[in-house]
């Protein structure tokens, strides 16, 4: 129960009022030894964007960079769980699970 409340509070704090989406804490995962990102997202507006680019920062020690995932056809007020292959993340191998991820922003995709 505490984890659910923490996730909800993080969504509110990170995304703020007036945002079009709420995003949970992001976690690094591996699938077929490729880096993936797992989390939840909720569309809270009538935004007409059918595809979005979820941009995140990944960091481990002195290594810090950005990557993103693409999500499609999100419905308003529906929480969607995802575990998507990352774009812009390379040469991390199985050490990907040691990285810390931080949500940065969401853009309509394609622009």
- Where do the domains of the chain lie? 2-108
Per-residue pLDDT, 109: 80
Q: What is the pLDDT along the chain (111 residues), one digit of tens a residue?
A: 555 545 554 544 444 444 899 999 999 999 988 999 999 999 999 888 889 999 999 999 998 999 999 999 999 999 999 999 999 888 888 899 999 999 999 998 876
- What is the predicted pLDDT for the residue at 5? 47
- Bridge partners of 80, per DSSP, are 41
Q: What is the pLDDT of residue 83?
A: 96
pLDDT score, position 66: 95
pTM for this prediction:
0.78
């Amino acid at each position: 129960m505490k984890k659910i409340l923490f996730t909800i509070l993080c969504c509110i704090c990170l995304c703020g009022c007036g945002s079009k989406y709420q995003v949970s804490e992001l976690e690094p995962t591996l699938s077929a030894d490729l880096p993936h990102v797992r989390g939840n997202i909720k569309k809270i507006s009538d935004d007409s964007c059918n595809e979005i680019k979820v941009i995140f920062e990944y960091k481990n020690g002195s290594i810090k960079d950005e990557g993103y995932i693409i999500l499609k056809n999100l419905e308003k007020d529906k929480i969607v769980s995802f575990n998507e292959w990352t774009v812009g993340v390379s040469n991390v191998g199985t050490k990907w699970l040691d990285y810390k991820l931080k949500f940065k922003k969401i853009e309509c995709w394609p622009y």
